[in-house]
């Protein structure tokens, strides 16, 4: 997984080839973003697997979110085996200006 800082957000990129979209879970709880899922091995009853280097089974990866992330704006997109999670930064509060009249 890659973590990329953009001008107004962070982005997490995760390669998940062969994953079904409904098997990917993204949760935010107590300042922790967790990406988890399960990749099942497809049964090929006709042929014997001689060597396998692909990962199958459950996976979990967690990231501690900084206070500057707008948690309600987190979004994700999954396309062609690439999961992209967008973590927008909170808008900075501008100091209020108060005009004081001198008498």
Which domains does the chain carry? Answer: 2-41+52-88 (2.60.40.790)
Q: What residues contact 24, with CB distance under 8 A and at least 6 apart?
A: 16, 35, 36, 37, 78, 83
CA–CA gap between residue 46 and residue 44 (Å, rounded): 6
Is residue 95 scored above 60 in pLDDT? no
Q: Give residue 2's pLDDT band: very low, low, confident or very high (50, 70, 90).
A: very high
- CB 88 within 8 Å of CB 21: no
Q: Is the pLDDT higher at 60 or at 19?
A: 60
Q: What is the pLDDT of residue 20?
A: 87
pTM higher than 0.85 = no
Residues 5-17: tens digit of each pLDDT: 998 899 999 999 8
Tokens at 43, concatenated = 């049964």
Is the Cβ–Cβ distance between 60 and 35 less than 8 Å?
yes
pLDDT in tens, 51-92: 877 778 899 999 999 888 999 999 999 999 999 999 999 887
């Amino acid at each position: 997984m890659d973590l990329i800082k953009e001008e107004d957000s962070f982005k997490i990129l995760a390669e998940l080839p062969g994953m079904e979209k409904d098997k990917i879970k993204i949760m935010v709880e107590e300042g922790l973003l967790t990406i988890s899922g399960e990749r099942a091995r497809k049964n090929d009853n006709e042929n014997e697997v001689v060597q396998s280097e692909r990962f199958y089974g459950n996976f979990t990866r967690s990231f501690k979110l900084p206070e500057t992330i707008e948690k309600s704006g987190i979004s994700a997109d999954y396309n062609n085996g690439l999961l992209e999670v967008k973590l927008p930064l909170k808008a900075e509060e501008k100091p209020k200006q108060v005009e004081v009249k001198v008498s």
